[in-house]
Each structure stands twice: as C-alpha cells, then as structure tokens.
Amino acid sequence: MTSTLFRRGPDGFGHWANGPAGLGHRRLSIIDLAGGSQPMPNEDGTIWVTFNGEIYNEPALRKTLLGRGHKFQTLSDTECLVHLYEEHGPEFVEHLNGMFAFALWDIPRQRLVLARDRMGQKPLYWSQLKSGTLIFGSEPKALREHPESECELDRESLARYLFYEYLPYTNSIWKGVQKLRPGHLLVLENQAVTIRQFWQAPVGSKSKASELTTTETNLPGQFWQKFLSAVDCHSRADVPLGVFLSGGVDSSAVAAALVELQGPERVQTFSIGFEESSFDESSHARLVARHLGTKHHERIFRADTLIDLLPDLCQWLDEPFGDASLLPTHLLSKFAREQVTVALGGDGADELMAGYPTFTAEPWLVHFQNLPAQAQSAISAIVRRLPVRRSNFSLDFKAKQFLRGADACASLAHQRWLGSFSGSELAKVMAEPPQVRVEEELLRLLALETAGVQDEPTRRLIQYQSNYLPEDILFKVDRASMAASLEVRAPFLDSELVDWLAGLPYEVKRQGSHGKLLLKKALAGKLPMQIMNRPKKGFGIPVGQWLRGPLKGWMMDLLAPDRLNWQGLFDSKEVLRLVEQHLAGTNDHRKPIWTLMIFQIWYDQWINHRH
C-alpha cells in the first residue's frame, strides 16, 4: 500500500504493526532530516502516528508540552502530535495550525484516530471493508492494494465528476471509498466509527460592517501583519524553499511578504511560460521578480510539452480530474523541484476574499433575471451567435458560460459557470440517467453547510471554501506537486488568518467588481501598479485550440462511438455531436470534451488496464 505513494515520499519508508493495527509511511524529508522517521511513537511506545503535512505552530506547542513534562526524542513536528494527544485525546486537533492528514493508534484504548486539516490541503481516503477492517491512505491507489479491496467504479460519482470536473465532498470515484472532509475527525473504537466536524469557519456579521467603516481601524495594516506572520511560519524548513510566482496578485503577495521577512537575496521565485501568447504570464512574473529583487527562475515551454505529460498523468492521478490547469501546475512543480523541496503558493485568497470572475458575474445574473422574457431571449440569441474565439478566457466563452447559469439560482449558477455539464446536459451525455440528481444534491448540501447564515454573499464564500477550494484547487496542487515530490504550502490558509478574515464582513473583502479588496489595499506601494490592476487570470492552457490541432487524433480515438458503445457509460451520439460542433468551430465545447477525455485516459489506466 505504501509503495504506491513513493512519489509523495521518496526519501524513506516505514511500517509498524501491533495487534489489529498497522501503520505505514512514505517520507519526504523537510524538518529534522536525520530524526523524523515514521511511524513515530510517544516516549513509552503506547501511541503511534503516521502523518503527512506540516504543523506550523509546532514550536509554540513544543514549548508548552516540554513545560508539562513531555520528553521529545526528535526535532520533527510529527512528534508533537503524540504528546498533544496524550494531553487532550482526539480533541488535540483543535490546537493545530497546519496542513495535515494523519492516522494515530492508541494501544491501551485500541483506538484509531484519523483527521484532515481545516481547509483540506492534505487528502485522506478511507474505506470499511466487508470484514469490518478499516483501511485508509493519502490516495485511493493505496487502498486498492489491500487484498479485500473491490475497487468498482461508482456510476453516481461519475455523474458528479462530469458536473463538477472533480469529485466533491466525501465522494471518490470508487464504490465504498470515501474522503474524510476538511476539518473532520474519524474515530474507530469498540468496532464503531464516529465522524465529527472539529472546525467550522466563523462567519462575519453585517452589523460589523458599519462599525468597521466608521472607525479608524487600519484593517489593511492588520491584514499585512497577520499575513507576514503566516508566511513566516510557513517558510520553516530544513531544506531549500521557493515561491511559485505567476505574476498575479496572490502569488506576488507571498513573494513580497517573504522578501520583507528575509531580504530579496534569500528568496527564490519560480515561473513557467508558454510560447502561445494569450496563455503566457511569464512577463508579469518577471516584472514582479525584478521589482522585488528575488533570485528568479523561469522556463518557457512549447505547448506540446504539456501534451507530452498526458500519458504519464493518470499513472499518478488515480481519480479523474477535469481542471486542465493540473498540467501546468505539475510542470511548474517539476521545474521548481530541480532547485527546492518546498514552495509557497498563493492559493486560497480568491475563496477567502471573493476574487473569482464568477463573483463579478453574479450581480449581472440578477439584472438578467429581472429582464422581461423577450429581452432575455434576444440577448441569448445574440450571445449564441458570437463567433468562437480561441484565446484564453475570450469574451464569447465568458458570455456563453454566463448563459449556462442564467436560469438558475445564484448557488447553482456559480457551479454551472465552473463545471462542465449541467444536470440536464448530464442526462443527455450519460448512457443511463444517473440516480443522483447532482443539482438538487448540491443545493441540499449547501443548505446544510450554510444553515443559519442569512447573508447571501457570505453563503457563496462558504460554497467555495467548503468544496471548490479543497476538492479542486487544493487537490490539484497537492497531486501535481507531490507527483514531483515537492511540498507546496499556502500561507493564505493559515488558521489564524482564515479565522480573522472569516470574522470580517463581506464588504471589506469585495465591493462591486473589486474582489480581494483588503489584500490589494494591504499591498499598496509594495508591487508595480500594472500587477495590482491586472484582471484575474487562471493558470490556463489552450485546450480548445489543441482539440482542433495536436489533440484531435487522440480525442477522436478516446471518444470514438465504437469505444463508447462498448464501454456503456456515455451516449455516443451526444458525445459525437459535441466533438463535431467543436471541430466545426460553431461551438466551444472545450470543457465538456476535456472532462470526458481525461475520464477516458483515467479509465484506460485504472479500469480497462486491470481487466
């Protein structure tokens, strides 16, 4: 089971078994290179842990634990887990500021504790087999190696994948395999499994808004001090560390903070670029690096370098994942890994402070829905006739995506804008209509997540933070970086910073079309103006263009009617319609086609290959 995770931990491995329990570990050495081997025990060997991640407040925790008489054998942050558990039992997770997934075995109580960090930066999968045995791991491929594991494709989860482009909430693509959700704890004791939430983001109240705007509270200054503190503790490592620099506001903020803390000569920044101009951000990264004075590393690739990664992709990606930015993230990770073992990234800012273009689109949704039906039809007809452009995030693409959510409530509209297939499109493309109604399921789960929250914009932030952030953005970064044996940390997701930001009213984070307002105010004078004024731009790749060019043959093969009819999962006529319209240039179906292709590449590796 552990050998499947060798990319996550190439520096060492360990196994430990006692009675009914067995723990395994693959190590990527970051802190206490000599002494941090796992699984790791407490002083008397009664409590053992296997742990993936970093505990950023470990120095403070260690000091407290030493004061209470605990004896440490290593300098590793892993060891604080067993001692903290001795003090507090399973509730010790509430004291941790970090990214983590761990399994802890308590011999005297015969108790297993599994936990996943608050924001879901580190993955944790588990399954209870027919025999009652509970198995767990960082990735599903580890669970598949267990002799009792059945590993059958879950068709309902396939429907969810097509809707979201990733596997949401507790779902995996495999029947019987679940994800532990962020901020949750699983305890197995006396043959009973209990799962509970140990953390939920505090929510800002509307009443606070007027209080904050009328007083002289220096919120941008407070934010920057808290962010500096987060970057400082996230940069603790006994190995070389760098910063992913895209030239966007978020990654530039991380680089600026690290330069302020350490001086420019000690900060290494990394960016990649592409020869295709509408997808290339390298000039912006270069500008920031020059402005800050960092030691900058850059490499420009041809588009086909990304295509060359595709066959290898599903050897390490054991769940289908339709966010195409996974490829450049992996390429950047491989490039950075030539120089460093740890990188800081800018993930989380958009979800915490409403930075996505979808937040800009929402007021327009309200305007559109208030128009007379005739006007709505006229606008829709004009948008549908817009010619298809091939550049990244073109106007016609945005306008047509907007229409996909135009007849839905705001929560559902956001998901349709982000995803590949709507509920009605799913019913057409799947060979058998799914039993799960994905759109109804989403609204039901969101109602539970946001119970008691009256403020509509804050409900939307929770929607992004509870699902899109962990299961798309952080999943992507974790898999893409760990496949290159690189650890990526996200200072914006520091526990104290998240709590503080969540307690502020929405108006402080976003006003009108201006998202991440607080961050931008805090950065005033620290970055070039053209970086501050840049519109939000994802880490995109020219998928639409490739499908008409270098990927066309592969697309035709993977989505061939004969193959689809044999497979029995998709309606070959509907898929052929999408492909033909895309090739003719009458419609831009890049998202649904890419999502289907990635599934097929994954299917060949993990299902077809096994038969």
Rounded to an integer, the average pLDDT of 144-159 is 92
Mean predicted confidence (pLDDT) in 382-407: 72
The pLDDT assigned to 166 comes to 97
Select from 86, 32, 80, 84 the least CA-distant residue to 56.
80
Q: How confident is the model at residue 207 (pLDDT cuts 50, 70, 90)?
A: very low
Which residues have C-beta within 8 Å of that of residue 64, sequence separation ≥ 6? none
As a whole number, mean pLDDT of residues 36-40 equals 89
Question: For residue 327, which amino acid is it?
Answer: L
* Amino acid 399: pLDDT: 78
pLDDT score, position 210: 44
> What does the pLDDT read at residue 35?
79
Nearest-angstrom CA–CA distance, 307 and 564:
23
Question: How does residue 611 score in pLDDT terms, banded at 50, 70 and 90?
Answer: very low
pLDDT at 209 exceeding the cut of 50 = no
Beta bridge partners, 171, equal: 178
Q: How far is CA 332 from CA 7, 146, 250, 542, in A?
A: 16, 33, 16, 17
Matching CATH number, 207-354+482-532, of 3.40.50.300, 3.40.50.620, 3.40.710.10, 3.30.110.70: 3.40.50.620
Quote the radius of gyration of the chain (alpha carbons, Å): 24
pLDDT of residue 124: 98
pLDDT score, position 206: 47
| Whether residue 208 has pLDDT greater than 60 | no
Nearest Cα residue to 250 out of 273, 225, 274, 231: 231
pLDDT of residue 176 exceeding 70: yes
Task: Quote the percentage of the chain above a pLDDT of 70.
Answer: 94
- Lowest model confidence (mean pLDDT) among 3-12, 267-276, 391-400, 402-411: 391-400
Closest listed residue to residue 273, CA positions, set 296, 242, 240: 296
Asked which of 210-214, 314-318, 358-362 is least confident by mean pLDDT, the reply is 210-214
Locate the domains of the chain by residue range.
Answer: 2-197, 207-354+482-532, 542-611
- Minimum mean pLDDT among 46-50, 175-179, 353-357, 575-579: which range? 353-357
Q: Which among 3, 248, 30 has a CA at the least distance from the CA of 145?
A: 3
% pLDDT > 90, the chain? 68
Rounded CA separation 377/404 (Å): 13
pLDDT exceeds cutoff 70 at 531 = yes
Distance CA 532, CA 250 (A): 10
- 391 versus 174: the higher-pLDDT residue is 174
Q: Which of 234-248, 297-311, 533-547 has the lowest mean pLDDT?
A: 533-547
In this predicted model, what pLDDT tens digit does every residue of 457-499 receive, in sequence order?
888 999 999 999 999 999 999 999 999 999 999 999 999 999 9
The residue-averaged pLDDT of 190-219 equals 70
Q: Which of 34-43, 203-212, 417-426, 545-554 has the lowest mean pLDDT?
A: 203-212
How high is the mean pLDDT of the chain?
90
Q: What is the pLDDT of residue 120?
A: 96
Q: Is the pLDDT assigned to residue 320 strictly greater than 80?
A: yes
Q: For the ranges 96-100, 254-258, 341-345, 359-363, which has the lowest average pLDDT? A: 359-363
Residues 6+ apart with CB under 8 A from 123: 101, 116, 138, 139, 179, 475, 478
> What is the CATH T-level fold of the domain 2-197, as seen in this structure?
Glutamine Phosphoribosylpyrophosphate, subunit 1, domain 1 (3.60.20)
